[in-house]
Structure 1
């Protein structure tokens, strides 16, 4: 199962959602991979405790291989396997990001390498679940992720700007599905940083439901524990297993897997 977590708006919790769902998946005994396509590398830092300085051990190497630009000619036939790292958590792995992804975009687009991630995932064996974290912009990497995935999750952080952006996202997903990936399904909209006692979040969610959008039942609450877990580089399942937020993420995972 390949899932992409996608939103063109920054700060909506893509990395937090990707990593915490992946950590729960791994803890449930599923061998799980996170692919960090955001050049900021937040998922990489969250799961490894640091960013990976050696670009030859990151997704920059994978994409350079598709251009025939691999350093020293290494790894031409290894695909994603060459850049997958174990994390400190059982069954949880990551293909880390690197800043070098940014300048590679132009060459990748001009050489039409948009399908290479999908091809690599189709031949990658041994993983039960894959979560793809995307940059907060529609670019080569987010399009590659949408083409490679089977299911798409959209974080929604309950403000009027997010609602307007959501309609654009839905159009993008529909276009990718029509032109490049007919197997892509919008699995659900994840309501993140939901304040149950505030009127605006309730109103926005009710309106989305009334319009027939696939809003998931589980709501993720705002909490300082998220920032603390980022700082400690520990998913909530390990940082604060008894906290309400950990329970919400587990409920979200169960909802998706049902």
Structure 2
């Protein structure tokens, strides 16, 4: 089983689009694949599950979800201190794995553990009770069920992102050829390397995914060349801009199912082949 985190502390760089479309290609290739959505915006969840995962003031978040998993993690801790707690209930909670929170998507071999808009409210309690390894432990129990896991993260280096990095084997860094994104890369990579040193020596940066790359424009070419000159792991396959992505979001349909032959779909296929063959 390979577990990949798609992570950038800067928002708007295509994290959810990259997560979902690589996961969809993985499933399309025959790998049993799971998307875990840790971003409270729930873009990956909504991309794959549509209206079911869309929430607003009148419609609550789809349950069960990742917040319910972390709530149960905290509940298990509380239960241990209650002398009068029924042993059967305690064992039931302790044995509840991630599979209890997962939903099937409409696409074969592709499942989703959806996000929740109120996930952030649990962060302090989870940190104070040192639950940073719980996601890793739960994911390890899925090894016989899934071949590939993709984790979408919030645009911040927080408890949930760190939990994902601790659980993962590989990190993909979306990059949109913006000067501000380039300046933020150093801090981002330092955070990943620190996580590797302190928590997860298996973790490696699989590569920088250049998104919205305009090959005919001078500035994007210069920025990418600067990254390569600095020996940063820029992947060869780059993703061009296209209105097809907006259509894909609108129809809740990954590119491989929407238009197999489109240049953007083919670019994602090249990216998928490159990371799978590394």
TM-score (norm 2): 0.89
CA contact (8 A) 1:26 1:91 kept: yes
1:28 equivalent to 2:50? Answer no
Matches within 5 A, 1:77-92: 77-92=95-110
* Equivalent residues of 1:75, 1:82 under 8 A apart: no
Aligned with 2:206 (options 182, 187, 191): 187
Tell me, in whole angstroms, the C-alpha distance in 2 between the residues paired with 1:206 and 1:131.
28
1:44·1:94 contact (CA, 8 Å) conserved in 2?
Answer: yes
Q: Within the alignment, does 1:58 sit opposite 2:58 as a pair?
A: no
State the alpha-carbon separation in 1 of the partners of residues 104 and 26 from structure 2: 15
2: CA distance, partners of 1:40 / 1:56: 15
Aligned to 2:215: 196
Match of 1:218 in 2: 237
Query: How large is the RMSD of aligned CA atoms in angstroms?
Result: 1.6
Residue 75 of structure 1, CA deviation = 4.8
2:276 corresponds in structure 1 to: 257
Partner of 2:75: 68
Partner of 1:108: 126
Q: Which moved more, 1:74-83 or 1:171-180?
A: 74-83
1:10-49 equivalence runs, <5 A: 10-49=11-50
| Alpha-carbon distance between aligned partners in 1 of 2:63 and 2:187, rounded to the nearest angstrom | 35
The equivalent residue for 1:205 is: 224
Structure 2 vs 1, CA of residues 206 and 54 (structure 1 numbering), >3 Å: closer, same or farther? closer
Q: Report the alpha carbon displacement of residue 100 of structure 1 after superposing the two structures with TM.
A: 2.4
Counterpart CA distance in 1 for 2:178 and 2:217 is: 11
Q: In structure 1, how many angstroms separate the alpha carbons of the residues matched to 2:198 and 2:25? A: 33
The answer for unaligned runs of 5 or more in structure 1 is none
> CA offsets per residue over residues 99-118 of structure 1, 9 Å max, x none?
12111111111111111000
Q: 1:146 aligns with which of 152, 165, 168?
A: 165
Say whether residues 1:130 and 2:149 are aligned partners: yes
1:241, distance to aligned residue in structure 2 (A): 1.7
The whole-number CA distance in structure 2 between the counterparts of 1:56 and 1:243 is 35
**1:55 deviation in Å?**
5.8
Matched residue pairs, number?
Answer: 257
1:231 to partner: Cα distance: 1.0
Which one has the largest radius of gyration? 2
- Contact 2:34–2:148 (CA<8 Å) still a contact in 1? yes
Whether contact under 8 Å (2:169, 2:202) holds in the other structure is yes
